[in-house]
Amino acid sequence: MNQDFSSIYNHHEREVLGAVMALAPQFPAIAADSDLLCDVACVALNRLPPRYIRHAVDFLFYLTEHERREIDSAIDESVGYAFNFVQARLALRAKP
| pLDDT tens for each residue of 35-69 | 999 999 999 999 999 989 888 887 778 889 999 99
Report yes or no: 19 and 48 within 8 Å, Cβ to Cβ: no
Per-residue pLDDT tens over the stretch 16-36 = 999 999 999 999 999 999 999
The SS3 assignment for 52 reads strand
| Stated pTM of the model | 0.88
pLDDT band at 7 (very low <50, low <70, confident <90, very high): confident
**Strand partners for 52:** 10
The helix (run of H) or strand (run of E) holding residue 32 is none
Q: Residue 72's closest CA among 2, 3, 6, 22?
A: 22
